[in-house]
Chain A
């Protein structure tokens, strides 16, 4: 293995990893506030990618400009899904039920996407997808850098919202303890609905970058959701910082394994690391240690 390839893998990993971190942050935020595991996150990423695809292919709208349409659209999709299905889930099996319900939603969306866009894989195109620039003998397509900047910008915005606004304070209170948050007068239901909307809205941005850097069809969502779940469990479910770090670490590790050993086995490294870490630290890297899980 030469060092250029290794450096390339690390740069690639950090750039791509930040996009995964963004999508995983949405997922972990939803879990932390609502105790809901949104398995539909994978297909929603693909939905976001297809929306960008439709806008750019049929209306010639630039991928990044199109986000002004796709992000609010997916926010609304999230709100509707939460109000219609998830708000009704109650009782001790709530989290398990949420997995099945969001999976069923995911199947419906998958079927619809297959019917509308067919199963032939597509990829998003723009000048920055096809052109790359060289630095120290390494060539990187512009989209990786733009995608990184987008993800970093959105994550920063999310953090400002969480740590500098009143609404962010109520989200963090709900993350810490839902019952206590309700007791001090926070409308936990409303916070949950909006959090779900935000958690889903980030998939529009993630999906656009994903679709520009990979070919995709609806069934790509299985690969995506399994990675996102691994990332949030590894980071500690409900931990925003954990999702961020685990996202970048895991994708970088996968890229390094791909050049150091073989691309064939790199995907497995993802899951093997998870199994090892969880054997040593069942709550994940930054998860809350809960003595009693209902």
Chain B
């Protein structure tokens, strides 16, 4: 089982690593880059919200902060468009963490559903600020330095940077899950008052998790800004982003490692594909319907998400197989006497 599992992870790694060599259509490569960014963001979101049970719906505040950090720093440092801009990706992540400290300090004072609403409210403060301030360029947004790579391999460097971010997010998520800190987050999810009673310093633990999860989301936003070359406040501070990464995690399996990866892969690639294919006309709205309906179907039939449902089914099957073989062994043993 363990070998099968690590084999599958390795297979996934190889497939993702080789994908740009097989897929040469720039439109599809672009879809792949954005999908990787979303998988990374959903994984990072899940690392806090999935483990602690605090569903944050304002993560676009961090995504947008990362995007604006990239755009503003690249312009102010007069960077040449090109690979040197990739160094600003972690800067975007750090800026998002910096912003997450006061946001978390305010939002984490309240519990669960009030927390959800207050994260939405704080997100809108960010969006409106970006629209109204002058240095953010208002609704016109900001242009980034032009990246002069040829069309035949333009997306490839982006792809591998996004892939690196995804691996970082996944490894971080695993490490947190296996650490004492991760157990404390899970204890908060199960029963915060009991965790407090047992000596978990709940507020610092929650705040640390919240701020950590902002890092990858900020990096995702920074990379996305560089890929687009132009950002607008309503697209990087996007309420749909907030809900999309949460839906991805729930779709695949809330609080599991594989869940947000699967959810991000399926939902984002589908959404991007729909957007590219039906970019004109009223069919552009079709993906909203498909996206929403698909999520509803999954959540009604597999309330724990796909990964958990499949795992339960697998465990049950294995248990039944074990029982059957035990029974037949017993029957054989009985027959030999």
Query: Is B128 among interface residues, defined by CB-CB distance under 8 A?
Result: yes
- Cβ 8 A contact of B113, one of A37, A114, A275: A37
Looking across the interface, which residue of chain B has its beta carbon closest to that of A100? Answer: B250
Q: Are A278's CB and B109's CB within 8 A?
A: yes
Q: How far is the CA of A108 from the CA of B303 in the complex (A)?
A: 19
In A82-133, which residues have CB < 8 Å from any B CB? 85, 88-91, 93, 95-97, 99-101, 103-108, 110-112, 114-115, 118-119
Q: Are A271's CB and B121's CB within 8 A?
A: yes
Q: Is the interface of A mostly helix, strand, loop or mixed?
A: helix
Q: How far is the CA of A282 from the CA of B289 in the complex (A)?
A: 36
With most chain A CB atoms within 10 A of its CB, the pick from B113, B118, B250 is B113
Residues of A within 8 A of B193 (CB): 292
Q: Are A226's CB and B288's CB within 8 A?
A: no
Residues of A within 8 A of B192 (CB): 293
Query: Is A7 among interface residues, defined by CB-CB distance under 8 A?
Result: no
Query: Is B26 among interface residues, defined by CB-CB distance under 8 A?
Result: no
| Known interface pairs A96-B112, A96-B113; A230-B300 also in contact (CB < 8 Å) | no
Q: Are A105's CB and B296's CB within 8 A?
A: yes
Q: How far is the CA of A103 from the CA of B193 in the complex (A)?
A: 29
Query: Is A264 among interface residues, defined by CB-CB distance under 8 A?
Result: yes
| Known interface pairs A233-B114, A278-B109, A282-B109; A104-B299 also in contact (CB < 8 Å) | yes
Q: How far is the CA of A232 from the CA of B288 in the complex (A)?
A: 27
In B281-303, which residues have CB < 8 Å from any A CB? 282-289, 291-293, 295-296, 299-300, 303
Residues of B within 8 A of A163 (CB): none
- Cβ 8 A contact of B122, one of A104, A275, A292: A275
Q: Are B121's CB and A108's CB within 8 A?
A: no
Q: How far is the CA of A91 from the CA of B305 in the complex (A)?
A: 14
In B52-111, which residues have CB < 8 Å from any A CB? 53, 55, 57, 106, 109-111
Q: How far is the CA of A292 from the CA of B247 in the complex (A)?
A: 27
Q: How far is the CA of A200 from the CA of B288 in the complex (A)?
A: 22
Q: How far is the CA of A91 from the CA of B189 in the complex (A)?
A: 13
Query: Is B219 among interface residues, defined by CB-CB distance under 8 A?
Result: no
Looking across the interface, which residue of chain B has its beta carbon closest to that of A35? Answer: B113
Q: Are B113's CB and A264's CB within 8 A?
A: no
Q: Are A274's CB and B291's CB within 8 A?
A: no
Category for how many chain B residues contact A = 35 or more
- Cβ 8 A contact of A118, one of B114, B282, B283, B296: B282
Least Cβ distance of B101 to chain A in Å?
Answer: 15
Category for how many chain A residues contact B = 35 or more
Query: Is B161 among interface residues, defined by CB-CB distance under 8 A?
Result: no
- Cβ 8 A contact of B295, one of A104, A230, A232: A104
In B3-39, which residues have CB < 8 Å from any A CB? none
| Known interface pairs A105-B292, A108-B293; A99-B116 also in contact (CB < 8 Å) | yes
Q: How far is the CA of A118 from the CA of B281 in the complex (A)?
A: 9
Least Cβ distance of A239 to chain B in Å?
Answer: 13
Q: Are A293's CB and B121's CB within 8 A?
A: no
Q: Are A282's CB and B114's CB within 8 A?
A: yes
Q: Are A111's CB and B121's CB within 8 A?
A: no
Residues of A within 8 A of B286 (CB): 111, 115
Q: Are A100's CB and B120's CB within 8 A?
A: no
- Cβ 8 A contact of A278, one of B55, B113, B114: B114
- Cβ 8 A contact of B287, one of A111, A112, A271: A111
Least Cβ distance of B195 to chain A in Å?
Answer: 13
Query: Is B322 among interface residues, defined by CB-CB distance under 8 A?
Result: no
- Cβ 8 A contact of A100, one of B125, B129, B243, B287: B243
Q: How far is the CA of A100 from the CA of B284 in the complex (A)?
A: 22
Query: Is A229 among interface residues, defined by CB-CB distance under 8 A?
Result: yes
Q: Are A265's CB and B132's CB within 8 A?
A: yes
Query: Is A237 among interface residues, defined by CB-CB distance under 8 A?
Result: yes
Q: How far is the CA of A95 from the CA of B286 in the complex (A)?
A: 28
Q: Are A275's CB and B292's CB within 8 A?
A: no
Least Cβ distance of A175 to chain B in Å?
Answer: 16
In B104-146, which residues have CB < 8 Å from any A CB? 106, 109-114, 116-118, 120-122, 124-125, 128-129, 132
Top 5 A-B residue pairs of the complex, sorted by shortest distance between their CB atoms: A111-B288, A107-B292, A114-B285, A111-B289, A108-B292
12 intermolecular pairs with C-beta atoms under 8 Å apart: A93-B53, A96-B113, A100-B250, A104-B247, A104-B292, A112-B289, A114-B282, A233-B114, A233-B117, A265-B132, A272-B125, A274-B118
**A residues whose Cβ falls under 8 Å from a Cβ of B:** 31, 35, 37, 85, 88-91, 93, 95-97, 99-101, 103-108, 110-112, 114-115, 118-119, 222, 226, 229-230, 232-233, 237, 264-265, 267-268, 271-272, 274-275, 278-279, 282-284, 292-293
